[in-house]
Structure 1
Amino acid sequence: MTQILTGTPVVGGVALGPALWPGHRPDHSAEALGAGVEIAEEQRADEAQRFTAAAAAVAARLRERASQNTGVAAEVLTATAGLAEDRGWIGAASGLIAKGASAPSAAVAATEQFAAVFTKLGGLMAERVTDLNDVRDRVLAELLGLPEPGVPTPDVPSVLLADDLAPADTAGLDPATTIALVTRLGGPTSHTAIIARQLGIPCVVAVPDLTGIGSGTVILVDGTTGEIVVEPDDATARARVDEHTRQAALVAGWSGPGRTADGTEVAILANVADGSSARAATDHPVEGVGLFRTELAFLERADEPSVEEQAAIYREVLDAFGGRKVVIRTLDAGSDKPLRFVDQPEEANPALGVRGDRIALAHPEIRAHQLDAIARAAEGSETSPWVMAPMIASPAEAAAFAAQVRERGLTAGVMIEVPAAAILASAILAEVDFVSIGTNDLTQYTMAADRMSADLASLTDPWQPAVLHLIATVARAGRDQRKPVGVCGEAAADPILACVLVGLGVTSLSSAPVAAAAVGARLAGVTRATCENAAAAALATADPAAARAAAAAVLENEEVRSAASR
């Protein structure tokens, strides 16, 4: 019997196939873990060594997978590898083993301790609980001589269902066999959702009652509307897939540059994390880089990378897009991306603590070295990079950063992620040459909602009218001062929302490269006036679902009129 479930749409597209659930995780029963059995004192040192060796093996495998990936996938795999060798976690487990616990039971107990702390901290730290549990199970499998847990390789193209997925699992998915992703938990801007977008597979999160769907059950996933149809009518389902395939063929034919049907230019740019992901991005119809995340060069380093090391990494990206626009974001560390070479005290709420620009204020040498490296990378390059700082909250912070950037002959900008910065956008733009709106964090901070919470997924939807109003404020300030206003959050990957953003006055859109063609093709089919009408319709609503529906209705009416006139 056909059943319809709904969740929060993350990556658009339509897919039809059998459901597939991840394989079983290691048994956590007391018997399997050896809980209650005291290890003899003379064997405890060997047991502790067995644990650390297992953790090191897991970390090595994750780093190997990171080296085979690019962009966000490589970044989160590297961060997850760091969890496997976290000194606090290993120390807690080793302490339990020293008291007689077995290595498997110590791994579980230590994880429970840290998971409780992360959950209490909330925000981005709570997001790491899924990653930590994944590391725990990989280490358990290593200790117990079991196959490494994770997602099985489907025999036929399948729809992957899960309560939640660790980024380490998501990063390894093959879009040819995993044709859609649906989770019961998670939010629209989680790392897993971002990786799904990078892979270009339809994705819906925060779907209740998902556990009632058995493996092998045929389901239809609509990543644009968030609809999951269980055991759909075959003819109807295949017609929807065929229509999506037809639309995808039209999208595949779009090659840029970005502009509306009446000629308004909108730069379609890529988010990248290193030279490898930048070179891969050139295979897509993008006009440059709107967000070069530089964290990958700093994560899991025992010491700060030298100016020479950094310059070489940055130059790879500049060379990949020779002569085209490249926007580099300075280090956005802290919170869920701690630096090993910086002594950061524990914070009650790291997402609202010392992160982004605030680390540079406490450690100015890190920013100075990074800006020196960017300037050195630009020497002799065809590209003069634009440079922006994350987590700017005031015009004074923007002015101080801009001065440092301009001293080195570079173009200065800032990220708008904090509501205060959006409200004071006019004053901030007076200090810099451009701004870029990070919709992931702007949404989280505006709605006071943990982006990883399934219960709050509707609040962290970038279609929230409150967020759209803040974007409109920033775009208006940019238009008044004739300065560029970009969007580099994942909202820029949604073709319908992209039209709304252009209608609000945004001048460039940067997202996962795989989304570029769909966004560009949609903009090419509508006029600037239609985008403005869609934006006005969205702003007039009071919830994200209504905003999405109102904007879509305006755009669809325009398409119908255009088809009738041809």
Structure 2
Amino acid sequence: MAELRGVGIGLGVAQGPVARMAEPLPAPSDAPSTATPDEETARVTDAVAAVARELEARGAQAGGAAQDVLEAQAMMAEDPSLADEIAARIAQGRTAEWAVFDAFATFRDTLTAMGGYLGERAADLDDVAQRVIARLRGVAAPGVPDPGHPFVLVAKDLAPADTALLDLDKVLALITTEGGPTSHTAILAREKSIVAVVGAVEAKGLLDGQTVIVDAAKGVVTVEPSADELSQAANRAADRASAATAPITDGALADGTAVPLLANLGKPEGAAEAVALGAEGVGLFRTEFLFLSANQAPTVEQQRESYTQLLAAFPGKKVVVRVLDAGADKPLAFLNDAHEENPALGLRGIRALRASEDILREQLTALAQADAATAADLWVMAPMVATVEETTYFTALARDYGIKTAGVMVEVPSSALLADRVLKHADFASIGTNDLTQYTLAADRLLGSVAGFQDPWHPAVLRLIREVGAAGRALGKPVGICGEAAADPLLAVVLVGLGATSLSMAPTALADVRATLLQHTLDDARVIAEAALSADDAAGARSAAQAAAAHENPPAEGDTPESKETQQ
């Protein structure tokens, strides 16, 4: 029996035989084509179009975040620049297969060198190329295996097209050797409630047919477990399934301290599912969907319609809307078309909006109109606020447009360190842990080579969160969490201990977080948080919190210490 470690997604546990993802197709031959360039070009055109339509169809079937990712891949497939590169190679007498392989590889290397969001998209480009080449060869694209029985899928990483449509009756769990807690695979696994451990480097050695236990709560994969370990894992899975059907209650700690559990949403259409899963409101509504697929900013009327649809789904409930967060990984030509060497540190968030203030003013106008037409409790916040001056600028402007509750996102260390001054002007703060981690540890959150640094458990990140929590408590201002960290059940307890007053996450994570909060009092949460803060690194913080949680909430009679620890 061996244990492999990675980053667990959620609290799930599953067991079963391993089935490995098929290896990529071999590279095409560089031999000259025996067909005419027109014939080869026609083959490529047909294959690319077929792959793009297939990706779009998969996206429409999957919905949610997966649809956005797959539609972006379809656009990659039909990029005019790629088509020109392929045509140039075919004109030199190459085959369609080799032209696609070489042109996509050249683009991939360019994106990889650029780093950041575009660097992370290089893997998506590889997946598109494989699908086009498979179509040209008339064979199935490499993808999820089908051994004829339920299995634990092991892969280097998963292409969004594969993750989006996993057959959850067959795929018991997912293990990847690459990726981190904010990778596409992790985000989609969380959205689909797939038991997953990502970034388990040693899983490269797993063999087809080996039995494993995938324990997301611990971030551990147990290889060839004993009969007793398999039985314990099965009991935990059954208990968790039973808990999922329990009546939904508002988020609270064991001592009755309320901790509202809210949903992160990217489109109004996700509201119904969030309500069904027990969301008490919305902690982050991303407005980018209205802008990213457009060549120009949407009108006030178009925006008002979408915002009204969202707010109407939450009468009497808090709905926190983030104004447009563009730039960096979400470039918009009509907002900022200037080339930036490092766009993550460039004109993004509130900086970009100030440079195109008419867009911000139109958005605030639409939000105020939607608020007036509905009964929700609208809160509006600005992204990427770094200074007190930016805080006063946004809150004053929002109030001029009739926004009653105006706040800021804390994603930059400077605003965390100045939280006591920022919150004198803002009505609330919401901490975006993904970007706060990125900027604290100087590690691009979309770059696989530094994924190991993108861990919100790092004590440096937790210290900054504590600063914001303390400022909120002193000034009587709410402090929410809306990054991926809130979806980690034990980290959610730590965040409350650091001063968070609400937690927002993907709706599918609500049940696990709700159940874990109910195991601890506010005093417990503060003790667990202090234990995490005392560590030197993220892994140490996680281990210290697990130990403190087990001590503060010892096993009930009949439980084993092991089973209790894994429930945390």
Count of residue correspondences: 557
Residue of structure 2 in register with 1:37 after alignment = 32
Cα deviation for residue 399 of structure 1 reads: 2.1
Worse-superposed segment, 552-561 or 145-154: 145-154
Cα deviation code 1:418-458 (max 9, x no counterpart): 11221122222222211111111111221112335555444
TM-superposed CA distance for 1:153, in Å, is: 5.1
What is the 5 A alignment of 1:400-411?
Answer: 400-410=393-403, 411=405
Is 1:138 aligned with 2:150?
Answer: no
Does residue 203 of structure 1 match 2:196?
A: yes
Corresponding position of 1:428? 422
Q: CA-to-partner distance for each residue in 1:516-542, whole Å, 9 max, x for gaps?
A: 111112112211111011111111111
TM-score (norm: length of structure 2): 0.92
One-letter amino acid of the counterpart of residue 246, structure 2: G
1:164 and 2:140 equivalent? Answer: no
| Change beyond 3 A, Cα 1:420–1:195 | same
* Contact 1:14 1:244 (C-alpha < 8 Å) held by counterparts: yes
CA distance in 1, matches of 2:444, 2:56: 28
1:10 aligns with 2:9: yes
Call closer, same or farther: CA 1:91–1:300 in 2, change over 3 Å. farther
Deviations 1:256-286 (A, max 9, x none): 2111121211110111111222211111121
Question: Which residue pairs with 1:487 in the alignment?
Answer: 481
Task: Name the structure 2 match of 1:59.
Answer: 52
Alpha-carbon distance in 2 for matches of 1:90, 1:550: 53
Q: Residue 276 of structure 2: SS of its match in structure 1?
A: coil
Is residue 365 of structure 2 the alignment partner of residue 372 of structure 1? yes
Structure 1 pair 98–404 and aligned structure 2 pair: CA distance change class (3 A): farther
Deviation at 1:45, TM superposition (A): 4.7
Corresponding residue SS for 2:436: helix
Task: Give the Cα–Cα distance (whole angstroms) in 2 for the partners of residues 92 and 386 of structure 1.
Answer: 48
Q: Distance in 1 between matches of 2:556 and 2:228?
A: 29
Q: How much has 1:341 moved relative to structure 2?
A: 4.7
Which residue number in structure 1 is paired with residue 105 of structure 2?
A: 112
Between 492-501 and 103-112, report the one with greater CA deviation.
103-112
Query: Aligned to 1:352, which of 345, 349, 368?
Result: 345
**Aligned residue type for 2:6:** G
When structure 1 is superposed on structure 2, of 366-375 and 107-116 the one drifting more is: 366-375
Q: 1:406 to 1:443 in 2, by over 3 A?
A: same
The answer on 1:240 being equivalent to 2:239 is no
* Structure-1-length-normalised TM-score: 0.92
Correspondence for 2:520: 526
Cα separation, 1, equivalents of 2:247 and 2:491: 18
Does the alignment pair 1:418 with 2:412?
yes
- The answer on 1:535 being equivalent to 2:520 is no
Structure 1: which 4+ aligned runs deviate by more than 6 Å?
Answer: 561-564
CA spacing shift, 1:361–1:104, aligned 2, 3 Å: farther
2:120, 2:448 within 8 Å by CA — same for their partners in 1?
Answer: no
Identity percentage of aligned residues: 45
In the alignment, the residues of structure 2 paired with residue 305 and residue 48 of structure 1 have an alpha-carbon distance, to the nearest angstrom, of 37
* Separation of aligned partners in 2, 1:46 and 1:299: 36
When structure 1 is superposed on structure 2, of 264-273 and 327-336 the one drifting more is 327-336
- Taking a change above 3 Å as real, the CA distance of residues 155 and 333 of structure 1, as seen in their structure-2 partners, is farther
The corresponding residue for 1:506 is 500
Q: Secondary structure at the residue paired with 2:455?
A: coil
SS of corresponding position for 1:136? helix
What SS does structure 1 have at the residue aligned with 2:292? coil
Q: Which of 204, 225, 243 is the matching residue for 2:218?
A: 225
The answer for the alignment partner of 2:565 in structure 1 is: none
Summarize the alignment of residues 385-404 of structure 1 with structure 2, pairs less than 5 Å apart.
385-404=378-397
1:282-303: CA deviation from partner (whole Å, max 9, x where unpaired): 1112101111122222233333
* Cα pair distance change 1:390/1:123, threshold 3 Å: same
Unaligned 5+ segments in structure 1 are none
- Aligned pairs for 1:323-338 within 5 A: 323-338=316-331
Counterpart residue number, 1:150:
143
Segments of 5+ residues of structure 2 without an aligned counterpart are 559-568
CA drift of 1:376 comes to 2.9
Partner of 1:292: 285
Residue of structure 2 equivalent to 1:263: 256
CA distance in 1, matches of 2:455, 2:182: 8
Give the Cα–Cα distance (whole angstroms) in 1 for the partners of residues 82 and 18 of structure 2: 35
- How many angstroms does 1:320 deviate by? 2.1
2:515 partner letter: A
Q: CA deviation at 1:489?
A: 0.9
Name the structure 2 match of 1:474: 468
The answer to whether the 8 Å contact 1:128/1:336 transfers is: no
Residues 435, 86 of structure 1: CA spacing in aligned structure 2 closer, same or farther, 3 A cutoff? farther
Residue 462 of structure 1, aligned match among 450, 456, 460: 456
Cα distance in 2, alignment partners of residues 561 and 161 from structure 1 = 33
**How has the CA–CA distance of structure 1 residues 136 and 561 changed in structure 2, closer, same or farther, with 3 Å as cutoff?**
closer
Cα–Cα, structure 1 residues 182 and 318, in superposed 2: closer, same or farther, change >3 Å?
same
C-alpha distance in structure 2 between counterparts of 1:67 and 1:371, whole Å: 31
Distance change (3 Å), C-alpha of 1:155 and 1:320: farther
